[in-house]
């Protein structure tokens, strides 16, 4: 089981934007006036797009590549400094705790994350709301890796297979996320996908992108568990796509 974090499990956008602004100014010397759209993207994508949007030209492509490690480090520092604000200015989305807890109790299940967030910040986000103990962060996929999200999903499956000595095939892998880009990544990375309309996309948009199951939110824990069971059993895998 792979989970997206932002707008699937938590909403900490206000803290994230503040940390971005601080890190961006530190490494570019320019104020972050416009932040790139974030849904379904990695930190590296957001950074490079934000460079262009804010006219922070590093000179050439090598210059941009040199800035990324510095930005990643600065972003981790800025986010960590705002740790206490996560619960003050952010929130755990309805049903997230109950769903993660219920999935953890499912036999033979390993939970990890596939997120655009860099690993330290991903852990901070889940730890702030007491969810970190349910996840194996070693096998996850993070925004600090300069690969498309679909590739990072493949790598996460490979790491989990090696660690647990279990074949986490496409039929045994489920990604729960909230954006059309996440649905597309699951298709590339070989996982079935439960799309949750808790982010910017509607249920119709998620369905049209090709999600295997679509949920309005995570408040119906039984529906989340049922959707996973349907997708990971021989009878359910490959069935017609429909809302759970």
| Domain ranges for the chain | 2-11+91-232, 13-86
The secondary element (H helix, E strand) that includes residue 92 is strand 91-92
Residue with tokens 């006219």: 55
Mean pLDDT of all residues belonging to the chain: 89
Rounded to an integer, the average pLDDT of 84-92 is: 96
More confident: 115 or 30: 115
The secondary element (H helix, E strand) that includes residue 76 is helix 61-81
| CATH 3.40.50.1000 is the classification of domain 2-11+91-232 | yes
Question: pLDDT per residue over 23-59, tens digit each?
Answer: 999 988 888 888 787 776 788 788 878 888 887 766 5
Secondary structure (H, E, C), 176-237:
EECCHHHHHHHHHHCCEEEEECCCCCCHHHHHHHCCCEEECCCCCHHHHHHHHHHHHCCCCC
What is the structure's pLDDT at 28?
87
Torsion of CA 148, 151, 156, 158, to 10 degrees: -160
Taking alpha carbons only, the member of 165, 8, 21 closest to residue 82 is: 21
Going by pLDDT thresholds of 50, 70 and 90, the confidence category of residue 243 is very low
Distances, alpha carbon 234 to alpha carbons 39, 152, 174, 214, in Å = 32, 26, 14, 20
Rounded to an integer, the average pLDDT of 81-89 is: 95
174: tokens are 């489920």
Going by pLDDT thresholds of 50, 70 and 90, the confidence category of residue 61 is very low
Q: Is the pTM of this model over 0.85?
A: yes
Q: How far apart, in whole angstroms, are the C-alpha atoms of residue 224 and residue 167?
A: 23
Q: Is 174 left (phi over 0), alpha (psi -120 to 50) or beta?
A: beta
Q: Are 157 and 190 in contact (CB under 8 A)?
A: yes
Three-class SS state of 113 = strand
Q: 60 pLDDT exceeds 70?
A: no
Residue with tokens 């359910």: 236
What is the structure's pLDDT at 144?
79
Taking alpha carbons only, the member of 120, 116, 125, 178 closest to residue 15 is: 125
Going by pLDDT thresholds of 50, 70 and 90, the confidence category of residue 222 is very high
**Best-predicted range by mean pLDDT (39-48, 102-111, 235-244):** 102-111
Question: pLDDT per residue over 143-185, tens digit each?
Answer: 877 778 899 999 999 999 999 999 899 999 999 999 999 999 9
End-to-end CA distance of the chain: 17
What is the structure's pLDDT at 59?
55
Q: Please, what is the Cα angle at 222 between 219 and 227, to 5 degrees?
A: 100
What is the structure's pLDDT at 244?
42
């Amino acid at each position: 089981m792979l989970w997206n974090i932002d707008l699937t499990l938590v909403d900490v956008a206000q803290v994230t934007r503040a940390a971005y602004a601080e890190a961006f100014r530190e490494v570019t010397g320019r104020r972050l006036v416009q932040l790139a759209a974030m849904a379904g993207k990695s930190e590296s994508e957001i950074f490079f797009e934000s460079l262009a949007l804010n006219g922070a030209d590093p000179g050439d492509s090598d210059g941009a590549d040199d800035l990324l490690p510095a930005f990643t480090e600065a972003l981790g520092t800025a986010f960590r400094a705002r740790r206490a604000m996560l619960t003050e200015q952010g929130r755990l989305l309805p049903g997230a705790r109950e769903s993660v807890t219920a999935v953890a109790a499912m036999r033979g299940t390993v939970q990890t994350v596939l997120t655009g967030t860099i690993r330290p910040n991903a852990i901070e986000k889940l730890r702030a709301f007491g969810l970190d103990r349910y996840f194996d962060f070693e096998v996850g996929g993070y925004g600090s890796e300069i690969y498309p999200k679909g590739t990072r999903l493949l790598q996460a499956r490979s790491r989990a297979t090696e660690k647990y000595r279990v074949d986490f095939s496409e039929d045994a892998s489920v990604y729960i996320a909230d954006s059309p880009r996440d649905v597309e990544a699951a298709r590339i990375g070989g996982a079935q996908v439960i799309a949750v309309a808790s982010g910017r996309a509607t249920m119709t948009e998620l369905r049209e992108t090709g999600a295997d199951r679509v949920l309005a939110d995570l408040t119906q824990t039984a529906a989340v568990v049922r959707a996973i069971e349907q997708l990971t059993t021989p009878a359910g895998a490959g069935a017609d796509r429909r809302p759970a």
